């Protein structure tokens, strides 16, 4: 027997509002499937991942095809790949918390910090929470061999609202390069050079997805902290792709051919024009132009696509000049 309980109109409206604010009014529309790397396939959660922390705040939905991570006053949540990889293509479609999410950090990244505590490698997508009425920022970063003193951060606006629906965020990691993608657009390429040395990630890494409280730094340098009156903060993950060379992380040597297929695929999926256009229109901070942190730019900055032509858009703190932002906004 089904019992229907009528709610007062005011209460009904309040429930609908809460659901809308926290993404509970229905599943996000799935984005079109990626066509970046041939043979890459989506995996169900239990097929490729394991729960890491915040078990009560991690919900696996749709036969393992979607995962919801929640941050509340008690904890955040996260999951990690069952395998450890040396090179590959890794992707997730992500929908970010809506409304007010200052201080909230959602991340999709590769790391081996659990295995190499002081010499770890890391490749990051970090979504840095928003103040109400402002857009989310996405940050990419690369660490190699514990080189955390030399951050290689870049931050970007996004040409869409990442809280409205799912969008793909992908990392292609090969022996010679790392490429970050938003949907099918390459937004950053890090090329391995002799000058970078061990600062280029080269040890096996796991794949992670997390949501956590980054009040100390995430939104305008920590000016705006997480306000738990707006909790719970919900991030949704789908289209989980693990396409790489699974290895024993403690092995002394690994196959020389690890990553060859991904390296070949990379040659076909980098559109220099598309990447240059995205960076010109949407990059809001670049370590290569931050002369306060790095009076002498790091070696790879001279090789960054369009670095010279973009230099006039950035101030000495590495932030995009306001005039350049206004000109961009006026033309959009």
Which residues contact residue 58 at a Cβ distance below 8 angstroms, ignoring those fewer than 6 apart?
A: 51, 67, 68, 69, 70, 77, 78, 79
Which residues contact residue 294 at a Cβ distance below 8 angstroms, ignoring those fewer than 6 apart?
A: 287
Cα separations (Å) of 301 from 192, 199, 305? 12, 14, 9
User: Any idea how long the chain is?
Assistant: 332
Q: Structure tokens of 149?
A: 């003193």
Neighbours of 57 (CB within 10 A): 20
Say whether 126 is catalytic: yes
Q: What is the DSSP string of 10-63?
A: HHHHHHHHHHHHTT-SSPPPPPPPP-SSTT--B--HHHHEEEEE-GGGEEEEGG
Catalytic residue among 73, 122, 236, 264: 122
Q: Structure tokens of 166?
A: 């799912």
Q: What is the DSSP string of 245-291?
A: EEE-TT-S---TTTTHHHHHHHHHH--HHHHHHHHHHHEEEEEEEET
Q: What is the pLDDT along the chain (332 residues), one digit of tens a residue?
A: 433 334 344 433 333 333 344 444 346 777 777 878 877 889 999 999 999 999 999 999 999 999 999 999 999 999 999 999 999 999 999 999 988 899 999 999 999 999 888 899 999 999 998 887 678 889 999 999 887 677 899 999 999 999 999 999 999 999 989 999 999 999 999 999 988 888 999 999 999 999 999 999 888 788 889 999 999 999 999 999 999 999 987 776 766 566 665 555 544 456 789 999 999 999 999 999 999 999 998 888 876 555 556 777 899 999 998 754 444 444 43
Residue 331 maps to a domain:
no
Residue 11 maps to a domain:
no
Q: What is the DSSP string of 50-111?
A: EEEE-GGGEEEEGGGTEEEEEE-SS--EEEEESSEEEEEEEEEEEE---S--TTEEEEEEEE
pLDDT at 19: 37
Residue 263 maps to a domain:
yes
Domain tally, the chain:
1
Residue 283 maps to a domain:
yes
Say whether 184 is catalytic: no
Which residues form the domain of 149?
A: 45-249+256-312
- Cα(170)–Cα(272) distance, rounded to whole angstroms? 17
Residue 243 maps to a domain:
yes
CATH number of the domain residue 238 falls in:
2.60.120.200
pLDDT at 24: 43
Q: Structure tokens of 105?
A: 């950090």
pLDDT at 41: 87
Residue 37 maps to a domain:
no
- Cα(148)–Cα(207) distance, rounded to whole angstroms? 19
Cα-to-chain-centroid distance, residue 9: 40
Residue 39 maps to a domain:
no
Catalytic residue among 47, 73, 117, 126: 126
Residue 14 maps to a domain:
no
């Amino acid at each position: 027997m089904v019992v229907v309980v009528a709610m007062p109109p005011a209460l009904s409206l309040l429930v609908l509002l809460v659901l809308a604010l926290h993404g509970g009014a229905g599943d996000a529309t799935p984005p079109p499937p990626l066509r970046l790397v041939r043979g890459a396939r989506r995996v169900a959660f239990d097929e490729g991942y394991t729960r890491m922390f915040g078990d009560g705040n991690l919900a696996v939905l749709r036969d393992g095809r979607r995962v919801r991570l929640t941050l509340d006053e008690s904890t955040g949540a996260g999951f990690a790949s069952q395998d450890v990889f040396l090179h590959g293509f890794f992707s997730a479609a992500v929908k970010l918390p809506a409304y007010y999410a200052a201080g909230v950090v959602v991340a999709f990244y590769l790391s081996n910090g659990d295995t190499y505590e002081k010499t770890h490698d890391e490749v990051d997508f970090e979504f840095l929470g928003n103040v109400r009425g402002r857009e989310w920022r996405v940050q990419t970063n690369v660490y190699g061999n514990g080189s955390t003193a030399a951050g290689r951060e870049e931050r970007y606006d996004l040409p869409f609202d990442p809280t409205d629906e799912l969008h793909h965020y992908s990392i292609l990691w090969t022996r010679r390069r790392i490429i970050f993608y938003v949907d099918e657009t390459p937004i950053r390429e890090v090329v391995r050079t002799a000058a970078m040395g061990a600062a280029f990630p080269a040890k096996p890494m796991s794949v992670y997805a997390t949501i956590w409280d980054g009040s100390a730094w995430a939104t305008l340098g920590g000016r705006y902290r997480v306000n738990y009156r707006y909790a719970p903060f919900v991030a949704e993950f789908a289209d989980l792709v693990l396409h790489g060379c699974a290895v024993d992380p403690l092995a002394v040597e690994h196959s020389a051919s690890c990553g060859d297929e991904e390296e070949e695929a990379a040659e076909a999926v980098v559109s220099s024009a598309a990447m240059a256009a995205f960076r010109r229109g949407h990059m809001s901070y670049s370590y290569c132009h931050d002369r306060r942190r790095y009076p002498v730019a790091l070696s790879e900055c001279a090789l960054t696509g369009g670095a010279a032509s973009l230099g006039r858009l950035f101030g000495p703190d590495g932030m995009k000049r306001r005039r350049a932002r206004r000109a961009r906004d006026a033309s959009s």
